[in-house]
Structure 1
Amino acid sequence: MSSDLTDSHTNDNHRLHEAILDSSDVHQFLDELCQHAVRSLSLGEQVLCGVTLLRDREGATVGSSSDYARKMDEIQYSFNDGPCLTAAREQVVVEVPDIRREERWPHYAEIISGHGLRSILAVPFDLAGDAKAALNLYSDAVNKFTAPAIERARTYANEASRSLRLAVRIAQHSERAGNLEAAMESRTAIDIAVGIIMSQSQCSQTDAFSVLVRASSHRNIKLRDLAEQIVANSNANSKPATHFD
């Protein structure tokens, strides 16, 4: 690879890294990563691109160049096997020159070819740790991914891995933060409801909480939902608010 092309890839992926730092929406960034991959690899707009991430041994598309590209990835997940999952799991490049001649995944190949796709290239990202991912490229042309194209894709995935690692960490942090916020909101509603029961029944906090739990079980309703109902019935402002610093 020429130094000019290497410098071009390096500059592009530096911009990707800066983009994820500036992005407020990780999923939008990952979609843009796929669109950027197609442009950067000079593969043409007809090529579909997705990013498969393995979590708890299950595959999920975390970014795609289009809704159709995402659907093509999801076909593979229904079989829990295929070129993209193999690339991510085994950290190897997987090329399918003509899906109609593919023997490794016959049922998957039949369905994919029914969508008019002919060749597939899956290249692993280097995420380090337990997370694994692959860049998935689909084309309606046989032998679309030539040796130079495969090498460009391999180089691109290697250089974009740093940005993807950061995106995955941000997404995981956001997910944990979202779960924490939901838990805190749930706790807030329950605490307020317990206070209301204590005031109305002139009982202790422990007894009030027991009343709430028994009512939740008797009515077959989640504790948080019952708590929010109690708060709403006692307050015209309805749903309790949780404040974060």
Structure 2
Amino acid sequence: MATIPPAPVLPGDARLEVFVHPAGLPPNRPLEEDNKFSDARRLEYLGMQMTELAYMDALKTRWPQATTQQLTVIAQTHSPNHLPVKSIVLTFAAVPMAVPPAPPLPGDALLEIFIHPASVPPNRVCDPTNKFSDGRRLEALGKSLVELAYRDVMQTKWPRSSATEISALVNSTISGFMERAVHAYQWKDAVRGRPPSLDADSREEAGRIFCTYAGAVHVEYGYERLRGWIDALTTI
């Protein structure tokens, strides 16, 4: 397997422009004079021009005997702008990412998390001796706290971003973030009592599992531990 060189490190202002889809931003958004990366549409146009120029330059260095016409054909056929999506996905999938350990939870919490609520009576009474009772309550609690903690982490990573930009970033990435985490921990396979008609691989099911676990983490450890875990998970 070929070694993938690390991408040049970019500051938060740049990463926000890169990873927030321009469709999620106002079309008439003014440029920020104190932010040299403002805005993504300008970066995309500049990048397309410079990528083609740099790629052609690299080809000339590799094949100095080739004619301009030959290099142009190679560039148009194998340009990074024309790589198939599958190749790009496989390239990123080949990069190993360290998964931070999930905060350990007691058995009472794990039962609530990994027994699907559909197999639990809907009118089940909360057990006053069990602080994790019940899974639906943990899920609702976790859903609110995950969004709060994730937004908090994003604001810390990109402190100069506006509230609109942070909201766009959170709304467009939080579901995928939870789905990646559940996949990394292989939690979908641990769920018991899931109805056969329910899609175990759906993004909604991943979100339910993650939020329920997050709710239990908050009950056991508090918000700061939950936030730290979510912060660590943003690297996967």
TM-score strictly above 0.5: no
| TM-score, normalised by the number of residues in structure 2 | 0.21
**TM-score if structure 1 supplies the norm length?**
0.20
* Structure with more strand by fraction: 1
